[in-house]
Structure 1
Amino acid sequence: MSRMTMIQAIRSAMDTAMGRDDNVVVFGEDVGFFGGVFRCTQGLQEKYGRHRCFDTPISETGIVGAAVGMAAYGIRPCVEIQFADYVYPGYDQIVSEAARIRYRSNNDFTVPMVVRMPTGGGIFGGQTHSQSPEAVFAHVSGIKTVIPSNPYDAKGLLLASIEDDDPVMFLEPKRLYNGPFDGHHDRPVTPWSKHELGEVPDDHYTVPLGKAAIRREGSDVTVLVYGTMVHVAETAAQETGVDAEIIDLRTLLPLDMEAIEESVRKTGRCVIVHEATRTCGYGAELAAIVAENCFYHLEAPVIRVTGYDLPYPHAHEWDYFPGPKRVGDALKKVMEAA
């Protein structure tokens, strides 16, 4: 076991996968010699050579398209999109090719590829470096969508994704990349933005896709979260004293329906939290699932706490994020319902 940041855990996952399987390759913009803009791939080219970890032109279409072709012929590419905001030029290949090849070929071809991308805000990156596009991937049948909340899960989920025979969109909350982080040099570190190093096995292990984790057991209300918002919800529960059960979904597709239903039927209340904008966000799907499957167990309406429906606000991103105050208000409101 080693204590790692999420960046180190992600790098360890790729290193482990490349060491176990010569078919695993890593490529993207600046991921080779430079080691990636966040240094997630640092040292991989030196260790495995330029034929297995290499730089590409600034072309998300080319990165994703090449990965689809390689994967269909037996290579296992793990590619990096420098920021999730940049993935849209390659979205057509993800939806029209990667997601459909298994079905179109009657299972003759699979596409074992992973698309890694930093997601969310917290670094004052502005509108084109801070988006949370998980809902546009979870909507597409044939691809899997994964969002870790801690270093241990980051490594285990990434290894499981690389070894999976279907395409996986692996979104990495950049606010969790480097452990303790305040988001701005003149802003004091707050409890919900301080993430300690995680205990991570040095060797190979996997965290199964489609299996949620209970981060905090409780009996009053179920909180459905993923990524950075797991830590926000934990702090909100501590500060309000509400006995909240916090479910870290970890994968949005496949989704652990059993864990959601079991928790909501126990607590009778549900709060959903995500950083992305509200309208048509992934929380809307979760709310529908809870209403359809747990309606007769609910004692209060489902409440969503999300980002606002507006272009990402560069100068006011810390007001845009759901923080412990907004989540805490939702917890108290749902508990006040008759």
Structure 2
Amino acid sequence: MNSNNLNKQAIVNNPLSIAPMMDRTDRHYRYFMRQISRRTLLYTEMITTQAIIHGDRHKLLDFSPEEKPLVLQLGGDDPIQLAECAKIGADWGYDGLNLNIGCPSPRVQNGNFGACLMTQPELVAAGVEAMQKAVDIPVTVKHRIGVDECDRYEDMVNFVRIVWGAGCTNFSIHARKAWLQGLSPKENRHVPPLRYEDVYRLKHDFPHLFIEINGGIANIEQAKTHLQFVDAAMIGRAAYDRPYIFATVDRDIYGEDTTPLTRQQIVKAMIPYIDYWINRETRLNSISRHMLQLFAEQPGTKAWKRYISQHACLPGADSLTINAALAEVG
């Protein structure tokens, strides 16, 4: 691997990331999070290959330069289509590509992608190989520790070994197995129990692979604990519900000599961005909904959320609405 490719791999071999989350990690949320942390790796929502091939690519794929480093997460099972979308994503300027082998939703199952592909590692390997041949940016895989009754440690090892054989060296692993029948995706976020030890063991058994752990990580201190056993930690819902927990990571995780912005400074930093999109006929609440939890667990958070919830959806709402909400915080 030449030095240029090593540098590209280093971008996605990042010790901390925010998980791709449907209806959450869109471009507005990602820009907002960049006011809190410049270094944390960010992901798009999962985008299906069919959507990219047949849909509005600018709406699906456009991002602001400030959002980088940024990985495009794809959902699909056809190697030819995955390769085509990988090329599109690389040309669009993404830093890496991630294949979703973790989502358990019925819609995803009906398309034969997501978590159900854990039982088809050869097909996943074919997709990864096709993607890698199409681009010169890293291709990574996000998967579960298991699916349904295929949940032994040996089953996960078999999956990883086959996909690694196709050239993938970066695996993000949700430490809770997927149930495809009998549990909703929401229920599957909490049951069955997390099995962190399986992910730790995988890193021990495959030290040459970059292993990232995901699932139930509530704060940066927990992430640091995991980093004693694996290469990286991925935070999901906590990053959305309490985004300000990332305020110190550029200093504490990445060693930068920086002073975190206060919550009030973050709001002010968002004002030009909000003005830009309002002038392009974007509704305020499509941006402000991602900012609702900025003051989570702080005095004034109820007033902040109440004002935005009541006013951001109204015709003509703009950055003045956000300034008024900030005044409510006190």
Higher share of residues assigned strand: 1
Give the TM-score of the pair, scaled to structure 1: 0.30
TM-score (norm 2): 0.31
Question: Greater helix share, 1 or 2?
Answer: 2
